[in-house]
């Protein structure tokens, strides 16, 4: 099956290698019964992959049901998925088939599967392992032959660690992983998508199509597009209807982009499927580990200073600087940690720093005294001027009997 034919059939725009890999994988596994887990950021178009898999599978003549797990209330989701018996709960005036019963022989697409309650995850795991389920309010085991395709923008590793998602269910769903890249990883497709959306909007509304000048193309290709394809489509349609000029300049484009316009600020994402943002705790821990290495290097330099003549030029690679320094001029090492999750790590590093020779503390006594006098003894203001934490300043005051 040619990818071009698939793209034409499902209205897929773009020729990025990562996108082509995802489509090719979907076609290869369409003839099997393997479960599929589609990952990617919100707005990348994950919902088209299960349609492709179903359309080119032996199940194509049977039911295809797409379910947004995050949109169904927790109290009714098991009834929606597995059905219920009459009188099983208030309002259950008659028996009802669930999606797994209705889609027998076909395909079920569970969008936002990471939002499923833990109790429902147990039932879903049973369906995947044995094809068995029980209606709410019944004790009769029923069988179903359904292929399950799931999608999420949740980081499963974090969800599993937090106890919000079952690890065994994750591996059952993830028999074949498919990753849909975000728009910022498909820069070559951005202008193609803009032209497609502009032409489609102009055709539906019988108006001239908008076109981008070269500078405007550079703007949209450098923007992050946090909302991905969905956001690009919205921006294109806004420009099409609100702008009188049909040739769009960079200045016009910037007006429709949130924040400060185009940006290529660095961000962390993973080709494995989840992007995710790195937590404050992870960032701070990484900084603290780096600080530990610098402290170890500084301690080594201090040991060297003891054996050297005062006034000799010393190189400090840990701070990437070369200065004529004396043993009494070694700078203090202080840091501020506001995140309580890393308090223990910070205190441990503080203890390491405290073992640096006494000359470091002696050097700062006069500076600390002057800073305190200048700010009338207000530790917070003095610490800010000295570039150290208030906790560190308080400790130094006690050590120096100031």
Q: For 292-327, how does the pLDDT look when each residue is reduced to its tens digit (9 = 90+)? A: 566 666 666 665 655 454 444 444 444 333 334 444
Q: What percent of the chain clears pLDDT 90, i.e. is strictly above it?
A: 60
Mean pLDDT to the nearest integer, 359-374? 67
Average pLDDT in the chain: 80
Per-residue confidence (pLDDT) for residue 368, from 0 to 100: 82
Please state the φ and ψ torsions of residue 109, each to the nearest 5 degrees: -105, 115
Fold of domain 3-179: Rossmann fold (3.40.50)
Smallest CA-to-CA distance from 121 within 69, 83, 176, 64 is with 69
- The burial of 340, by beta-carbon neighbours within 10 Å (0-12 exposed, 13-18 middle, 19 or more buried), is given as exposed
Residue 198 tokens read as 């502009």
Per-residue confidence (pLDDT) for residue 281, from 0 to 100: 46
Q: How far apart are CA 240 and CA 208, in angstroms?
A: 9
Mean pLDDT to the nearest integer, 168-180? 96
Q: How far apart are CA 177 and CA 315, in angstroms?
A: 51
Q: What is the pTM of this model?
A: 0.64
| Lowest mean pLDDT segment, chosen from 71-75, 152-156, 292-296 | 292-296
Cα 160 from chain centroid? 15
Per-residue confidence (pLDDT) for residue 287, from 0 to 100: 53
Per-residue confidence (pLDDT) for residue 328, from 0 to 100: 45
| Lowest mean pLDDT segment, chosen from 121-130, 168-177, 389-398 | 389-398
Q: How far apart are CA 184 and CA 335, in angstroms?
A: 35
b/e burial code for range 170-188 (CB count within 10 A of at least 16 → b): bebbbebebbbbbbbbbee
Q: Domain spans of the chain?
A: 3-179, 184-255, 280-400
Residue 331 tokens read as 């700078």
Question: Has domain 184-255 been given CATH number 1.10.8.60?
Answer: yes
| Lowest mean pLDDT segment, chosen from 69-78, 95-104, 356-365, 391-400 | 356-365
pLDDT, tens digit, for every residue of 188-236?
Answer: 999 999 999 999 999 999 999 999 999 999 999 999 999 999 999 999 9
Query: Is the model more confident about 375 or about 276?
Result: 375
Per-residue confidence (pLDDT) for residue 230, from 0 to 100: 95
Per-residue confidence (pLDDT) for residue 375, from 0 to 100: 79
Query: Is the model more confident about 293 or about 43?
Result: 43
Cβ pair 54, 64 in contact under 8 A: yes
pLDDT, tens digit, for every residue of 230-281?
Answer: 999 999 999 999 999 999 999 999 999 986 444 444 444 344 343 343 344 4
* Residue 359 pLDDT grade (very low, low, confident, very high; cuts 50, 70, 90): very low
Q: How far apart are CA 152 and CA 124, in angstroms?
A: 16
């Amino acid at each position: 099956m040619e990818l071009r034919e698939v793209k034409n059939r499902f209205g897929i725009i773009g020729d990025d290698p990562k996108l082509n890999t995802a489509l090719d994988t979907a076609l290869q596994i369409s003839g099997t019964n393997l479960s599929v887990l589609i990952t990617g950021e919100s707005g990348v178009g994950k919902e088209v992959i299960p349609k492709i898999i179903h359309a080119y599978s032996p199940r194509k003549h049977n039911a295809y049901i797409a379910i947004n797990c995050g949109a169904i209330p927790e109290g009714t989701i098991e009834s929606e998925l597995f059905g219920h018996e009459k009188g099983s709960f208030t309002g259950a005036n008659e028996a009802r088939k669930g999606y797994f019963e209705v889609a027998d022989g076909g395909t079920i697409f569970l969008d936002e599967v990471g939002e499923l309650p833990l109790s429902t995850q147990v039932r879903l795991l049973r369906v995947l392992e044995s094809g068995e389920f029980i209606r709410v309010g019944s004790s009769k085991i029923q069988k179903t032959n359904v292929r399950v395709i799931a999608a999420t923008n949740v980081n499963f590793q974090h969800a599993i660690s937090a106890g919000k998602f079952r690890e065994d269910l994750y591996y059952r769903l993830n028999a074949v992983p498919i990753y849909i890249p975000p728009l910022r990883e498909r820069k070559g497709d951005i202008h193609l998508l803009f032209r497609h959306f502009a032409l489609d909007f102009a055709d539906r509304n019988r108006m001239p199509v908008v076109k981008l000048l070269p500078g405007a193309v550079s703007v949209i290709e450098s923007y992050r597009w946090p909302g991905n394809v969905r956001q690009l489509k919205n921006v294109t349609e806004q420009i099409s209807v609100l702008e009188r000029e049909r040739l769009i300049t960079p200045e016009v484009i910037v007006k429709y982009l949130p924040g400060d316009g185009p940006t290529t600020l660095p961000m962390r994402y993973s080709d494995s499927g989840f992007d995710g943002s790195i937590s404050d705790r992870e960032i701070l821990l990484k900084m603290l580990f780096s600080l530990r290495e610098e402290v170890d290097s500084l301690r080594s330099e201090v040991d060297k200073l003891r054996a050297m003549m005062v006034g000799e030029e010393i190189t400090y690679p840990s701070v990437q600087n070369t200065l004529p320094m004396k043993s009494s001029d070694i700078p203090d090492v202080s840091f501020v940690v506001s995140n309580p999750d890393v308090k223990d790590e910070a205190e441990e590093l503080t203890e390491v720093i405290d073992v640096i020779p006494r000359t470091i503390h002696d050097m700062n006594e006069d500076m600390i005294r002057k800073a305190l006098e200048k700010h009338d003894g207000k530790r917070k203001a003095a610490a800010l001027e000295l570039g150290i934490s208030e906790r560190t300043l308080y400790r130094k005051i006690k050590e120096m009997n100031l």
